[in-house]
Structure 1
Amino acid sequence: MDVTVRRFVAWDVADGKRVEAAPCNAILVHYVVTGTVTLVGTGEPPRNCAAGTMILTPPGLEISLLRATGDARVASALVFARLSGSFGLLDHATVLFIEDVSDAPMIQLAWETMVREAGKMPQALGTVALVSTLMKACILTVLCRFFQRPGSTPRIISALADPRLASAVASILQEPGAPHTVDRLAECAGLSRSTFARQFSQILGSAPMEFVAMTRLHYAAKMLRSSRMPIKTIAASSGFSSRSHFSRTFRQEYGSDPRAYRQQTGESAPADFSSEMPGPGPDARIQVDPVCVL
């Protein structure tokens, strides 16, 4: 799993003020440093989160944080987490991952280190790599605890647990731009076409070629963020027949064309770390990234 932290802030949740984290194409990670905050998520009842609580917000979900008690302080990060370089770790997740990790001193130490390192000005050499490595350990801790609960295993992991489907999924993730077809994937899995398509859809929640298309888009998005490769070349390497088809499909999924997306989210730009965030007004939506507000 590759983890890159693109934005890191530590901020105070002021009394009577509300901070909203709008949907974006990355994972938003929050850690309650002190006090208690009230979390309000789409489709979920309000929930108090005390110091030592971590919150992973998958891409596309929206939450709000309000001060509940004490001097509430939260550290937040905008994180890209990828499997096999193209598939987003929580892209198919539809729930928030909320875990009390106050009993894990190493996690507390990791967050203290991230806050301290992100607050150094100028930033020391290796700060981004250090913060990203520590963030990876924190995310894995939350996911391991969450997955230990009965019935909580996400679809992608369920698919990888089946060796037949795993071979097909791995083939897609490793080579998104390959000329995949249902017949070839079924052959890779050692199943008949109909059985493969049925089992794939049941476990992953999408048809095989829908999964291929989504994986190609994720791969293309990563290439746009992390390289200066021409867009036409990215389209071809991602398995799209033409740049126009790629641009149209990309815009439908990400809300902007590939060129604008690259300008907004390029991972090659320096990560934006800040130890402090200006106090927001009531119902503030704080800008933390060109494609995401916190």
Structure 2
Amino acid sequence: MTATSHDRLLTALVVHLHSTSVCSIGQGWRLAFAPFETITVHHVLSGSGSVQVGNDPPMPYTPGSVILVPPRLGHVVGDAGAEAREVSAEDHCGPFADGLAAFTAGTTPETLLLCGSIPAPHGQILGVFDLLRDASVGMPAGDVGHGVFDLMRAEVAAPGIGTAAITEALMKACLVTLLRARLRLVDRGLLQSPLPGDPRLARAALTVLEKPGAPHTVASLAERAGMSRASFADHFARVLGSGPMEFVQSVRLRAAARLLQTTDLPLKAVASAVGYADPSSLSRAFRVTYGMDLTSYRNLGDQAWSGPPGVEPREPSPVTGNFQGGEEKCEPSD
């Protein structure tokens, strides 16, 4: 399946992130990671240094930074000094806790990273990450971002049963916080739009993503974009492959699928939350896209996924590149 720009934007904040490893890098050392097929995410719990991706110039990081590395690009993390010793992460891998791997360079930790991977469910990187052609180092702002890092540090300091699940949830929360901040910067015209060519469309799309249940119309979204109704509708369809109201419906249906999958809210409440007058109206639209009614979808339980039928998440290849089916294939280094 080839995801359209429309589909990619809809999944912008659906983050399928998997916690994979903890990296400890000593002063005067660097870890080199081979290219992976997934996006690599490093959360810097402590330490300062730099990350160099491919042949690009090194980028500095500090505690609280989030490093994003696109697929199929090798990268080196650690001490930026010219005399630093560089070792392969794959050759310095051992167990950490609860199925996570540990990568170690040097003896006295200077940099501590919590690492994960973002798989590509459709064979492509979706949403905002579809635009990740260059590596980036960002820092989630606000109390939520800072609080999540404090919780990560506490869990890594005392790991045990459930560490993988806890760190994965915290990393996802941190990443969504970072994405939300980026989208709002786009909304204010401070970053390039995640929609090709026109940040005005991003303002309208963000309005729908943040408030899917609001009474959106082509006229209201055009006003949000600062465009005439006709120009907005035409440009939106050309860029995203569907009209504005088709986009609104898709966002609402995905929101409904998530609520059905993760809550026991009455169907009337689900319909109201996503902008439908009643469960019957929602169910008719839902059946067209998902091939079943609301109750049947809810009864799927853990098998449900908030995407249209025929689109299943692909099992990720973790950041180490050496795992399959969650089993560790690397051996501890000497």
Q: Relative to total residues, which structure has the larger strand share, 1 or 2?
A: 1
| TM-score interval for Structure 1 and Structure 2 normalised by the shorter chain | 0.3 to 0.5
Larger Rg: 2
Report the TM-score when normalising by structure 1. Answer: 0.47
Report the TM-score when normalising by structure 2. Answer: 0.43
Highest RCO, 1 vs 2 (Cα 8 Å, sep ≥ 6) = 1
